[in-house]
Structure 1
Amino acid sequence: MGTVDSPIKLVATFVGYNGAGKTTLLYKILDRPLPPNFVPKVLPWDEGPLYLTTRTEDGREVHLHVRDTCVLDEYDRFRPLNFPQTDVFVICFPNTLDLFWRDEIVRCGFQEVPVVLLKTKVDEVSSDNMEKQVCEEDVELSKDKVGWLYSLEVSVQNEMLVKELVSKIVLAGLSHQKTKVERKKRRCVVL
């Protein structure tokens, strides 16, 4: 009888301002229906597990745990409590790219964790808000400042884009876990 590899556990923490669509996107990623009279705040913990099971390209099973964060001022001190054990940060923004989130991640000591930069609500682009939209050059210029590994655009209405997002999050998370293992191997122990 062959051995069964235990699933790889990855943690993705989603950050971004209110109205960026984080919570709605997480409902879609977790394949949950939006509750009636839905008012997005933070993904409720009492509606079941906050992870999905997916597979890597080579067939390994991955449990992708997701963490939603709240932006309200009263949560400023609690939000960083979501950061430990994070394998990838997903910075969500609908219109304007703000470095506040990367600064908070760095200030809390997690600058080595990869970032996926995610432009949300791409289906809501209209001529009224075109001048507010972030252009590709702005995103590319932010690569050095933010240090993002992947940059994607997503709409919760488009199933393929959501699946691509999950795939990129898993790739970024796996790269971080590999780096952590390599760093542990290089540590010296003084006896």
Structure 2
Amino acid sequence: MRKIGILGGTFNPPHIGHLIIANEVLDALSLDEVRFMPNHTPPHKEKTGDVSDLDRLTMLEQALDGHPSFFIEDIELERKGTSYTYDTIKLLMERESDVEYYFIIGADMIEYLPKWHRIEELAELIQFVGVKRPGYKDETEYPIIMVDVPQMFISSSMIRRKLRTGKTVKYLIPDPVVRYIKENDLYES
């Protein structure tokens, strides 16, 4: 049975924090691959700005380019509507029955787990993998494997603020993503 990690998010834009988390979990749990799954409409936050799904997908492709075990899972973009993890995992399991899924979440989402749609059923279907995030607790009543990753306070919203105010994002996001953002005038003030 293949072991596949799923890292969901808006990836608006994708940054080195996403890449580090995925790489550390891939290695720590000896996963076969990690799939980055951009959501269409996350249930816990509003969609940010006017960056299209295609732009987010293209930036993600550029951020992952060259890593042999990183892939994009675009099932939630195809489905449209609110992206509930339970519904997505059910579809993925129907599509690939020979896979054990490891759903990677930050400590901010660990705290939020009790509010997830159909969380009890979801916890029976997948293995949650948690990573610490500054300012959040990692305690939960749900079964979760914690993976130690380098902690840094970096977020897509912080990067968007920096871009809007003309501040540097060097080393926070991969250079091809920076070029794409500049060429397409994304996140301008």
TM-score by length of 1: 0.37
TM-score by length of 2: 0.37
